[in-house]
Amino acid sequence: MEAMLQPVADLFGPAWPLVWTLVKIIAIIAPLMICVAYLTLAERKVIGYMQVRIGPNRVGPKGLLQPIADGVKLLLKEIVIPSGSSKGLFIVGPILALAPSLVAWAVVPFDDGLVLADVNAGLLFLLAVTSLEVYGVVVAGWASNSKYPFLGSMRAAAQMVSYEVSMGFALICVLLISASLNLSDIVVSQSSGRFADMGLGFLSWNWLPLLPMFVVYLISGIAETNRAPFDVVEGEAEVVAGHMVEYSGMTFALFFLAEYANMILVSILTSVLFLGGWLSPFGFLPDGFHWLALKTAAILFIFLWVRATFPRFRYDHIMRLGWKVFIPVTLVWVVVVAVWMMSPLSIWS
Amino acid sequence: MLENYFPVLVFILVGLGFGVAPVILGRVLAPYRPDGEKLSPYECGFEAFEDARMKFDVRYYLIAILFILFDLEIAFLFPWATVFQEFIAAGELAWFVFGSVMVFLAILVIGYIVEWKNGALDWE
């Protein structure tokens, strides 16, 4: 590989590291965008079938070109900037929403050694970047200078920061037992254990000893991405579409992309932190990227399934769940894990 | 060490670029015919009758303040969680390290209980 690329590297000279990094970034973003596009189709299809409908089936064979049609339509729609809005911030809002959901992918390990930036503080970086997402929503809601976006973004901000806390405590638990902030190390630390030696690798992953945290992380992930049943932010009956009311055309598309990119991000992070990333569930099967893809797809399916199943939560219930249930549970579990690690029953060494 | 972060920096720029490009593209490709009605704020068809930047519930501030406290707590726990296993392996200071963090957590839990009792976490 290195030898093959050498002539190209010589061509670019000192700019080569930058060019090569850009190529790798495109190699992450391009498939991600295709996933986002087809996740929108999958969502409509899955929910359609769950409600005994067919879902989109007109554009292309079995509706497979539907996301492209949607994209082109949004591209050709006028970008309306309301006269009363803060025009600069109005444009910055959606960009701020999308950028963090892409940047977080820099530290996600896809396979053993297959990661763009193998940084030591990967988990900390993720915590920092994912908390930036709330700014896009707040800026958009404020800049619109319209009542529904304003109320929607207040709700969104309060909800996102509330669930951020329980997610943070769940991360602390993962960190305690893997003793590394590097995401690749976190995956590797899940590859050993009593069950892994017996060939049942999936019982050695973090989800089992951290089962409450796994559940809390998953639910917080759904709340964090403002997905149903936590989508009061865009509750049609109350605040129309929340912070997105005044947006149209590509500025709206950016929010849409950000939401789905965030869903995929939360799913892949759950897979990496709790479900052993690229590790295979059974000893006799080889590890590989396909396992990570499979686990991520399974969690994404749960996202859609939950949306099709549960009615929307009331806002005070959402806040109660975040502050009065999840925070005590996660706090207690941090202590439990710490004590467990110090006791003779510790399964981590 | 720091050169590991170079791809992250490039990624941030690409991420921002990826947000800016569609907006420019949309502006160029899509029609642009603004008029007064189109640019007025959406209020279900009514004329907007006051400024949208109105007073809002103080609870949102409260949640923001509480969030800062708890997020700081998490930030402080990160270094402890990273090295805790090494201390257990070394054996000697494990209980001291554990105890000091428990004191830290206990102070925050007391604050949390006070907030709960005073109704700061209630949404009516």
* Of the candidates B20, B14, B21, B23, the residue with the CA atom closest to the CA atom of residue A26: B14
* C-alpha dist (Å) from residue B77 to A26, A200, A226, A334: 35, 32, 27, 10
The predicted model scores a pTM of 0.90
In this structure, the answer to whether residues A112 and A134 fall within a common structural domain is yes
Low-confidence ranges of chain A (pLDDT < 50): none
Nearest C-alpha neighbor of A108 from the set A326, A289, A325: A289
Q: Do B4 and A157 touch (CB under 8 A)?
A: no
A51 vs B: CB within 8 A: no
- The DSSP result for B50-112, as a single string, is S-S-----HHHHHHHHHHHHHHHHHHHHHHHHHHHHHHHHH-SSHHHHHHHHHHHHHHHHHHH
Q: Do A179 and B82 touch (CB under 8 A)?
A: yes
- A window 251-290, beta carbon within 8 A of B: 251, 253-254
Q: Name residues whose C-beta falls within 8 Å of residue B98's C-beta, 6 or more positions apart in sequence.
A: A338, A339, A342, B84
User: For residue A285, what pLDDT is reported?
Assistant: 81
- What is the nearest CA distance from A115 to chain B, expressed in angstroms? 10
Same domain flag for A235 and A95: yes
Best to test chain A binding among B2, B6, B18 (most A CBs inside 10 Å): B18
- Which of A76, A92, A117 finishes a domain? A76
HSE-up (13 A, CA, CB side) for residue A228: 14
Pair A230, A114 in one domain:
yes
Q: What pLDDT score was predicted for residue A1?
A: 65
B97 touches chain A (CB under 8 A): no
- Domain end call among A76, A94, A109: A76
Flag whether residue B15 sits within 8 Å of chain A, measured between CB atoms.
yes
Contact B39 A349 (CB under 8 A): no
Token pair listed for A35: 């996933």
Residue A132 at interface with chain B, using a CB cutoff of 8 Å: no
Q: HSE of A227 in the Cβ direction (CA atoms, 13 Å)?
A: 29
The pLDDT score that the predictor gives to residue A117 is 81
Cα distance between residue A181 and residue A183, in whole Å: 6
Query: Is the minimum CB–CB distance between B14 and chain A shorter than 8 Å?
Result: yes
Degrees, nearest 5: CA angle B14-B19-B25: 115
Q: Is A175 on the interface with B (CB under 8 A)?
A: yes
Query: Looking at the domain assignment, is residue A116 inside a domain?
Result: yes
For A46-70, write each residue's pLDDT tens digit: 999 999 998 888 888 888 888 889 8
Chain B partners within 8 Å of A240 (Cβ): 42, 44
Question: A84 and A70: one domain?
Answer: no
- pLDDT over 80 (residue B70): yes
- A83 CB within 8 Å of a chain B CB: yes
Compute the Cα dihedral for A91, B54, A237, A304 and give only its sign: positive
Q: Could you tell me if A101 and A262 are in contact, meaning their C-beta atoms sit under 8 angstroms apart?
A: yes
Q: In terms of residues, how long is chain B? A: 124
* Positive/negative CA dihedral, A168, A169, A170, A171: positive
Residue A277: predicted pLDDT: 83
Note down the domain range covering A32.
1-76
- The angle at the Cα of A209, spanning A208 to A214, to the nearest 5 degrees, equals 65
- Same domain as A286, residue A201: yes
Q: Is B91 on the interface with A (CB under 8 A)?
A: no
List, in sequence order, every residue forming a beta bridge with A114; answer none if it has no partner: A111
A281 lies in the same domain as A219 = yes
Taking the Cβ of residue B117 and every Cβ of chain A, the question of whether any pair is shorter than 8 Å is answered with no
Domain final residue, candidates A76, A91, A125: A76
Chain A residues with CB-CB distance to B82 below 8 A: 175, 179-181
The residues, any chain, with a CB within 8 Å of residue A284's CB and separated by 6 or more, are A199
Position A297 scores a pLDDT of 93
- A74 lies within 8 A of chain B by CB: yes
Q: DSSP letter string over A293-330?
A: HHHHHHHHHHHHHHHHHSPPPPHHHHHHIIIIIIHHHH
Distance from CA of B88 to the nearest CA of A (A): 7
- Is A348 inside a domain boundary? no
The total of structural domains in chain A comes to 2
If asked whether residues A307 and A203 sit together in one domain, one would say yes
Q: How far apart are CA A199 and CA A176, in angstroms?
A: 25
Which among B36, B60, B81 is the nearest to A176, CB-wise? B81
Same domain, A65 and A90: no
Angle between helices A87-103 and A122-143 (to 10 degrees): 160
- Judgement on whether residues A135 and A66 belong to the same structural domain of the protein: no
A178, A210 Cβ separation under 8 angstroms: no
A128/A252 same-domain check: yes
Q: For chain B, which residues make up each domain, given as ranges?
A: 2-47, 58-117
Nearest 10 degrees: CA dihedral of A248, A254, A260, A266? -140
User: What is the average pLDDT value for chain B, to the nearest integer?
Assistant: 84
pLDDT of residue A236: 66
B43-55 b/e (C-beta count within 10 Å ≥ 16 → b): eeeeeeeeebeee
Preceding amide of B31 cis, omega within 30: no
**A223, A307: one domain:** yes
State whether A324 and A196 are in the same domain.
Answer: yes
Partner-chain contact B43 A147, CB within 8 Å:
yes
The pLDDT assigned to A237 comes to 66
Indicate yes or no: CB of B10 within 8 angstroms of CB of A346. no
Q: Does the residue A347 lie in any domain? A: no
Q: For residues A98 and A115, give the distance between their C-alpha atoms in angstroms, rounded to a whole number.
A: 21
pLDDT reported for residue A349: 65
Burial A11-40 (b: 16+ CB within 10 A, else e): eeeeeeeeeebbebbeebbeebbebbbebb
DSSP three-state, residue B27: helix
In a domain, residue A349? The reply is no
For B84-113, what is the mean pLDDT?
A: 87
